[in-house]
Structure 1
Amino acid sequence: MFRRAFWFTTGAAAGVWATNKVHRKLRKLQPDSLAAQAADKAVEAGHRLRQFALDVRTGMADREEQLHDALGLGDTSDVRELPAPRTPAALETHYRTTRTPGQTGLTGPTGNEDH
């Protein structure tokens, strides 16, 4: 009698466990759950990418410092900075002033359309 009760209870517990596991898996595969999982993965990838960029910047700064020390440059406070990049409007003005009268479009200072 005890053997039968033991095996009945074991079977019922296994059935409840399997049913719960299947329901959890089905809930996990619903579209809104999949969208939430994808969003979480995207956020996690963004954090990893940001951490990678910070690591690269730190490594670049360390290497730059090593190169300055190796070349004996030392203090770089007196080094002039590069000028700001040209804006598209400034480039357009430059190309417009260097174009010949019969030329159409923005082709550059030489007038060659084939580069």
Structure 2
Amino acid sequence: MFRRTFWFTTGVAAGVWATTKVNRKLKQLTPESLAATAANKAIEAGHRLKDRAVGFALDVRDNMAQREEELGEALGINTDPELPAPRRYAAIENRTNPKYVDRTTYSNNRNEDH
């Protein structure tokens, strides 16, 4: 009697386990699940590609700066040129400039009767 109970319980456990596995696999194969999986993998691939591109760009920038220094030293060019002084603007407008001359005595209306 004990043997039968043991094998019955083992069979039920194996059936539950197999049913659970099959149901999980079926859920993974639904169109919605496949679309979500594909989207997640595409996003991950995009992140990996972006990280590689950023790393490549940083390497290119570093190597470019290094090469510019080498060329500057070889050609005797000053690699740290001085910037020109910033322009200064007058704080008060120059009212003698023709742009600011009072033109109220002259009429620009061509349709006016003379």
Q: Same fold (TM over 0.5)?
A: yes
Point out where structure 1 has 5 or more consecutive residues left out of the alignment: 79-115
Shift in Å, 1:2: 2.2
Residue type of the partner of 1:28? Q
Q: Relative to structure 1, is the Cα distance of residues 16 and 69 closer, same or farther in structure 2, using a 3 angstrom cutoff?
A: same
Q: Is the 8 A contact 1:27 1:33 kept in 2?
A: yes
- Given that 2:69 and 2:79 are in contact with CA atoms closer than 8 Å, whether structure 1 keeps it comes out as no
Instruction: Tell me the residue number matched to 1:65.
Output: 65
* Distance apart, 1:59 and its partner CA: 1.0
5 Å matches for 1:73-88?
Answer: 75=79
* Pair 1:41-2:41 in alignment: yes
| 3-state SS, counterpart of residue 75 of structure 1 | coil
Shift in Å at residue 29 of structure 1? 0.7
CA-based RMSD of the aligned residues comes to 2.1
- The unaligned stretches of length 5 or more in structure 2 are 83-114
Distance 1:15 1:74 in 2: 81
User: Partners in 2 of 1:58 and 1:74 — Cα distance?
Assistant: 24
State TM-score, norm by structure 2: 0.59
Give the Å deviation of 1:26. Answer: 0.7
Q: Which one has a bigger Cα radius of gyration?
A: 2
Separation in 2, partners of 1:37, 1:76: 53
CA apart distance, 1:74? 7.1
Q: Which residue of 1 aligns with 2:92?
A: none
Q: In the aligned structure 1, how far is the partner of 2:55 from the partner of 2:80?
A: 23
> 1:3 — aligned with what?
3
Equivalent position SS for 1:16: helix
Post-superposition CA distance 1:16-43 (Å, at most 9, x none):
0110110111111111111111111111
